[in-house]
Each structure stands twice: as C-alpha cells, then as structure tokens.
Amino acid sequence: MALFAFDNSYARLPDRFYAKLPPTPVAAPGLVRVNTALAATLGLDAAALAAPDGVAALAGNVVPEGAEPLAQAYAGHQFGGFSPQLGDGRAILLGEVVGPDGLRRDIQLKGSGRTPYSRGGDGRAALGPVLREYVISEAMFALGIPTTRSLAAVTTGQPVYRETPLPGAVLTRVAASHLRVGTFQFFAARQDVDALRTLADYAIARHYPDIAQAEEPYRAFLGAVVGRQARLVAQWMLVGFIHGVMNTDNCTISGETIDYGPCAFMDAYDPNTVFSSIDHGGRYAYANQPGIVHWNLTRLAETLLPLLAEASEPAIEIAKAELAGFAPAFEDAWHAGLRRKLGLAQPREADLALAEDLLARMQANAADFTLTFRALCGAAAGPEGDAAVRALFADGAAYDGWAGAWRARLAEEATAPAARAAAMQAVNPAIIPRNHRMEAAIVAAVEHGDLSVFEALLDAVARPFEDRPGLERFTLPPEPEERVLATFCGT
Ligand code: AMP
Ligand code: MG
C-alpha cells in the first residue's frame, strides 16, 4: 500500500505558482519520531512511516508514490521590508491528502534541500529548530489553537553549518495549506491579475467554500481571512504566545499558525516581551501582535484590489470596510477569552477593566502569566486558593487588592464554585512548552544524542490542561540561571 493516498490540487495550478523538483537525498536517514495520533487523523499508517521505506520518504531520499514534489513561489514583507521573491527555499510540498475527516491537508518536507528559491541558503534545517517546531506546534494544537502540525522528524546523518556544525534534520509539516499573504503578494508584485484571480479562487474553494456563491466572493474572502486571523492572534495572546517572526510570508490564508522559528511563550507577564534574536526593534513583541496581524492583512487587501472592483477608489473603500472588521473581531475574541480565563460566564461591561487591572498588577509584580491564571482556578473554588496566587506576585498585596473586586464580581454569577474552577482549568493551561524546557530538550538531543528529554516534553505539552502527578517540573518557570533570553530562527 502507498504511504500516502495523494490527491494533489496545487500541482494543477499554472506553472508560475511553483517550481517542480524532488527533495535532495541525504546521507543516512534516521527516525526521530512519527506522530502516531496525527497519522491516524490523516488516515496514514504510522508503522509504515516509521519503517525504513517510510523514513527514506520522510528524509527525501525516495519520492513516495503519488507525490508531485514542488517548491511554492511566494513573496513577503520581512520586518517591514518587501522581498518580491522568497518562496520555499528549503521546503518541498510532496502533495495533499484528504483525511477520514474529509479535510485536505498539505504534506511538506522542511529542510529537504535547495530549490530555485533558496537564494544564499543551504536548503537545510538543523535538528534543534526541527525539534522546537515539532514540540511547539503540537503544544499549540493541544491548546486548541489553529496550527500547522508535525507528522514526523528525521535526522539526515549530515551536518548543517550554522555558527558551528550541527546535526541536520527534516520535519514533515502538515498544514491546511501553505497559502500565505506572501503568495498573493508574489503575483501582485508582478501585476499578474489572472494569477491573483486563480489563486483567490483556489483559496476560496479550499478554505472558504461557503463563500464561493457569495455575491462579492473576493470581498467576502478578504473579510473571512480577516476574521480568522483576528481570532487566531487573540488565541495567541490568551496563552502568552509570541510568534517572533510575523512576516507576511508567515501569515496564512487558512488562519493557522505557521513557521515556528524564534517563537516562545512568556513566563513573567510583560507585554513588551521579545525573544527573537533578530527582532531588534521589538516589532514582533507580545503586545504588538494584533497590530502586526492587521498590518499584514492590509498588505493582503492591497493585493486583492484589482479583484474587489474595477476602479481603484471603490476597491479601496471595500478593502477598508473589510479591514475595519479586524478590531471588533479581535476584541470580541480577546474579551471573551479573558472572561473565560477569569471564570466569568455572563458578560458584564466592567469585565475588561477587571482583567486589565489584573494584567497591570501581574506586570508590576513579575507574576508568571501561565501560573497566575492556573492558580486562579484554585482561588475560584474558594479563598483557600488565594495563597497560591498571592505567592506569584512580588508583592502579594497587589493580588489581594484585586481579588476582592474579582470575588465581588464572581458573586454575581450563577455557576457553582467547583464547576467554575473546572471550566477555568479547561482554558488556563498548567503546561506550556516553556523556553527553558525546550532549550534543555534541544541541548540533550543535539549535544548528547539523547531524545528522552524531547519525548518527555512532548508528552507533557500534549495534555496541557491536566494536573498530572510527576509532571510538576513542566509547570514551573525557569530558575534565574535557566532563563532563556533570546531565541533563534536557526536558519
Ligand atoms: P522563514 O524566516 O523561515 O520564514 O524563511 C524566510 C525565507 O527564507 C523563506 O523563503 C525560506 O524558504 C528561506 N530560508 C530560510 N532558511 C533557509 C535555508 N537554510 N536555505 C534556504 N532557504 C531558506
Ligand atoms: Mg517562513
């Protein structure tokens, strides 16, 4: 039986959408891990993928039956500067599979060798960043956040040269599609309106089939992407996730999180947090993320102008009207999410101010974002839980000053305390892939060939909302000497 029942639609698009070429073989493929649960979701045989023929395919040494390998063309704004040609410089789309759930997904190898879009790069990926993407994308999935996923990781038996030689690896990425804002920008930059229309029709059919029949489908398409991206970034904000490199080529049309490079979760709450070593101006700091998504969507809207109306002025008006939907969509999702985090089922006008007051006190007292909300679940059950929250604040009185108002507000709710605590535990994770844990997993794998730390972390983040005995260490912030101050793309 074939490894994948490929059904490839992207490869049917016009030639100028991609370059067709196979992955470049590697010296000695070695299995790191196959994601058994995801394989089942996709209707794939995990055991076959983990067998030698499967590993050879995942490393790019064999093109699996039915694949039509290609590198996608795209452009993008990187840190605000436009590059008219980026494209998959180190990734190959093998093809698409339709799972038992009826959903079509891309199967892509990342780190699979040079392509016509590689520019100066070697087309490869190092093991550390591959493990990082594997863990964090799977953590995001477990947290209920739309994301690309990781089907497998393999080592190549070849070094990649960054500052030092590092073990090479290939990640098998699964995505609803790899269409990006930058894909639209690629054709807009070439004033190729035919291709833009083809691409928009393809994106609508694949991700927004309901609007194919809309009176103004391209307008509805823009509005739908705006809505999905607004809800996505709200979900990031609610778990303290910092993407780190929100370039337009890393902003999907499907509304999935993509491209896990220097991303990280915040420990102590500080809206100015930046981890990425290349983000000198703090462009992609935690608090800037909604504004950056809106900026990226504005770039998408610009590419669609020729499809929105014949004349440019009405087209601009339509684009503006759809972009105006961003703020209310984001705010709805953010406010509703904050309410859930605080255990408030019935909305009240003053809830946002209550949440903002807590956040301000957390910031002033270096309170850990994840632990504070998790500990609040206990405090929601009764005041005996207050001590655990208090202890997270540099000055416990800062919490006391807020807790009184929160308790008064909770008294207006009908929910019983135990049910409220349980509902809060289902949205406030105990376990996130903390940066120092991720770093430790990478060091063990890269420096000592020990994958057990990676495996343990992956197991921990897969069930983020449970308190599991023996996993307490994954809930804790770093000790001062464990703190990771900068993260790297590893490209
Ligand atoms: P990213 O920062 O991962 O979004 O990548 C930006 C662009 O650089 C994309 O076109 C990538 O395909 C390309 N790129 C990143 N790393 C490499 C590499 N090692 N070799 C070739 N191209 C790369
Ligand atoms: Mg990218």
* 444-467 per-position pLDDT tens digit: 999 999 999 999 999 999 999 999
Q: Report residue 480's pLDDT band, with 50, 70 and 90 as the boundaries.
A: confident
In order, the DSSP letters of 127-146 are HHHHHHHHHHHHHHHHTT--
In a domain, 249, yes or no: yes
Tell me the residue range of the domain where 321 lies. 182-333
CA 307 to centroid of ligand 2, rounded, Å = 26
Asked whether 122 lines ligand 1 (CB < 6 A), one says yes
The answer to whether position 3 is within a domain reads no
Answer with the one of 333, 365, 381 that is the final residue of a domain.
Answer: 333
Would residue 194 show up in a list of annotated catalytic residues for this protein?
A: no
Closest residue to atom 7 of ligand 1, CA basis: 86
Catalytic residue among 88, 106, 249, 267: 249
Q: Calculate the CA 290 to chain-centre distance.
A: 14
Query: Which pLDDT does position 359 carry in this prediction?
Result: 98
Sequence-distant (6+) residues with CB within 8 A of 329 are 226, 227, 230, 231
Using the predicted structure, report yes or no on whether residue 491 has a pLDDT greater than 80. no
pLDDT digits (tens, 9 = 90+) for 385-426: 999 999 999 999 999 999 999 999 999 999 999 999 999 999
pLDDT in tens, 6-41: 999 999 999 999 999 999 999 999 999 999 999 999
- Alpha carbon of 89 to ligand 2 centroid (Å): 9
Cα torsion 270, 276, 280, 282: sign: negative
pLDDT value, residue 321:
98
| Rounded CA separation 491/486 (Å) | 15
pLDDT score recorded for residue 301:
99
How many whole angstroms from 117 Cα to the centroid of ligand 1? 9
> For position 45, what pLDDT does the model report?
98
Q: Band the pLDDT of 269: cuts 50, 70, 90.
A: very high
Chain mean pLDDT for the chain: 97
**Closest by Cα among 444, 432, 415, 416 to 476:** 432
Residue 10 DSSP code: G
Q: Are residues 487 and 437 in the same domain?
A: yes
The residue nearest atom 23 of ligand 1, judged by CA position, is 89
pLDDT of residue 490: 64
Tens of pLDDT, residue by residue over 221-238, are 999 999 999 999 999 999
The total number of structural domains in the chain stands at: 3
Residue 106's pLDDT band, with cuts at 50, 70 and 90, is: very high
| Overall pTM > 0.75 | yes
H/E element holding 96? strand 91-98
Contact 11 CB / ligand 1 (< 6 Å)? no
Atom in ligand 1 nearest the alpha carbon of residue 245:
2
Query: Domain boundary residue among 142, 177, 212?
Result: 177
Q: Whole-angstrom Cα distance, residue 256 to residue 331?
A: 19
The pLDDT, as a whole number, for residue 212 is 87
> Could you say which of 114, 147, 177 is where a domain stops?
177
> Is the residue at 2 inside a domain?
no
Clarify whether residues 357 and 461 are in a common domain: yes
236/234 Cα distance (integer angstroms): 5
Asked whether residue 123 is assigned to any structural domain, the reply reads: yes
